[in-house]
Chain A
Amino acid sequence: MWLVPNSTEVELLFGVTCNFFITMASGCTSEDLFDAIIMADDRFHDEGFQEGFDKGTRQGLIEGRNHGATHGARLSAELSFYYGFAFTWKCIFQDSPEPRTRKKLKALENLLALIQSFPHDDPQYGNLQEDVGKVRAKFRQVCSLVNVPSDFRDYVSKGEEMSF
């Protein structure tokens, strides 16, 4: 997929460069002429290149950005979900008179700390995959500890299959 400049742009460019060439060519030796031709050749290419480069840069930005947005959004939605989930259970167990909450609280706090321990909005962070894997594992442990119903797990595992 690449861009074709519109006809007016070519006309303009062509006119300018053509004049330049004729000026250069008048009263020159054939060697000079040949150089001039090469120059014109390069110059047209360079001119096109610069134009293309600018537009390619802009298009690359748009394309990359759109692509990145969905990936970043998916991952963030998943991790934010874990955070909200763990935070809520932490609040519940903190106030609970129920015995044997120590292990649950510890796991919940570990999960919360884990999510905050790495820059999950940076796709070039080297350990992203690995750290996200750790978060998912911790989340599964938490689910088991708080004894969430199985239909909930089905609902969540859909999210875990997200390939990033």
Chain B
Amino acid sequence: MSWVKSIPSSEDDVFDEDEEDTNLQKKEWRYNMEKRLKDGFRDGMDSGKEASLQHGFNMGFRDGAAKMVIVGQLKGIVSAMQCWCQLQQLDPPRLASVTELLQIIVRHEDTMIERMQMAQQHLPASVGDITDCISDLSVQHVDSCCGGVHCSGKSCHRSEGAKEDNSTFPCPSTHCSLSMEENLKQLLKSCMNLVYELDFPEELLHHVKQLMSA
């Protein structure tokens, strides 16, 4: 340990030493301690990360799974309706309305997944950057979905809140969740209308209603 040499011995009066020399020793000491601190920090980071990654993955997996249940089912329902219409050779306008709804649902689902991917790509490089990242995400989020006239402003406030509070991690898939949720409700409603119009069984209508209240 070369830096041991730089430690002042107990006999010496520290203040009698040449000031420049002291400064130099102090500097080296500082440098070495800083290095130990950094090394410790790096080791700690690795251990901490290793210890929590799986837990985080499990949590995220569960959250992500829960978010897609309704939209996924809705896509399945409308896909089946579309197949049925094709097999029954329903008139083109009615088939078109089912197809159109299916396309919107698929887009909605894609957007939800894209948001999650976006969050993954924007992983913070350092803790200090987390806040930057949060604001980055908020900015993007404002651009992508709150710029419209339908924006209630509520969700924007929400993301600003996240900027101030470092302890709550942003789960970007919840960004703008209000309007996404409203959107999904709307799609469920459209689906119900089609189930009714095309005279699909009562049980299906009931099931879509249940999804709506879930």
Q: Tell whether any CB of A sits under 8 Å from a CB of B in the complex.
A: yes
List the B side residues contacting A149 at CB < 8 Å: 83, 86-87
Is there an interface contact between B64 and A85, defined as CB atoms closer than 8 Å? no
Distance in angstroms between the alpha carbons of A30 and B4 in the assembled complex: 11
Is there an interface contact between B46 and A2, defined as CB atoms closer than 8 Å? yes
Task: List A45-67 residues whose CB lies under 8 Å from chain B.
Answer: 45-67
Is there an interface contact between A2 and B42, defined as CB atoms closer than 8 Å? yes
- Shortest beta-carbon distance from A119 to chain B in Å: 9
Whether A6 sits at the interface, judged by CB under 8 Å, is: yes
Whether B149 sits at the interface, judged by CB under 8 Å, is: no
Is there an interface contact between A80 and B48, defined as CB atoms closer than 8 Å? no
Whether A41 sits at the interface, judged by CB under 8 Å, is: yes
- Shortest beta-carbon distance from A126 to chain B in Å: 14
Distance in angstroms between the alpha carbons of A71 and B4 in the assembled complex: 51
Report the interface size class on chain A.
Answer: 35 or more
Interface string of A64-90 (1 = CB under 8 A from B): 111111111111111111111111110
List the A side residues contacting B61 at CB < 8 Å: 68-69, 71-72, 121-123
Whether B67 sits at the interface, judged by CB under 8 Å, is: yes
Is there an interface contact between B109 and A56, defined as CB atoms closer than 8 Å? no
Is there an interface contact between A60 and B52, defined as CB atoms closer than 8 Å? yes
Distance in angstroms between the alpha carbons of A124 and B53 in the assembled complex: 13
Whether A28 sits at the interface, judged by CB under 8 Å, is: yes
Of the candidate stretches B31-39, B150-158, B175-183, the one touching chain A is B31-39
User: How many positions in chain B have a CB within 8 Å of any CB in the partner chain?
Assistant: 84
Interface string of A1-18 (1 = CB under 8 A from B): 111111000100110011
Is there an interface contact between B59 and A64, defined as CB atoms closer than 8 Å? yes
Distance in angstroms between the alpha carbons of A6 and B126 in the assembled complex: 10
Whether A120 sits at the interface, judged by CB under 8 Å, is: yes
Q: Closest chain A residue to B117 by CB distance? A: A70
> CB < 8 Å: which of B7, B43, B60, B70 contacts A52?
B43
Is there an interface contact between A17 and B33, defined as CB atoms closer than 8 Å? yes
List the A side residues contacting B38 at CB < 8 Å: 4-5, 48
Interface string of A132-158 (1 = CB under 8 A from B): 000000000000001111001000000
Whether A107 sits at the interface, judged by CB under 8 Å, is: no
List the A side residues contacting B70 at CB < 8 Å: 80
Answer whether A55 and B48 are a contact pair too, CB < 8 Å, given A26-B10, A46-B40.
yes
Task: List B5-45 residues whose CB lies under 8 Å from chain A.
Answer: 7-10, 29-30, 33-34, 36-45
> CB < 8 Å: which of B30, B37, B109 contacts A5?
B37
Whether B200 sits at the interface, judged by CB under 8 Å, is: yes
Is there an interface contact between A60 and B33, defined as CB atoms closer than 8 Å? no
Is there an interface contact between B66 and A25, defined as CB atoms closer than 8 Å? no
Answer whether A41 and B126 are a contact pair too, CB < 8 Å, given A66-B120, A94-B203.
no
Which B residues contact A (CB, under 8 angstroms)? 1, 4, 7-10, 29-30, 33-34, 36-84, 86-87, 109, 112-113, 116-117, 119-120, 123-128, 130, 169, 171-173, 200-201, 203-204, 207
Which A residues contact B (CB, under 8 angstroms)? 1-6, 10, 13-14, 17-18, 25-28, 30, 33-34, 37, 40-41, 44-89, 91-92, 94-95, 120-124, 146-149, 152
Known: A80-B76, A91-B201. 9 other contacts (CB 8 A): A33-B10, A50-B44, A60-B49, A71-B60, A84-B75, A88-B200, A91-B200, A92-B204, A123-B57
5 examples of A-B residue contacts, CB within 8 angstroms? A2-B45, A14-B34, A49-B41, A56-B44, A80-B71
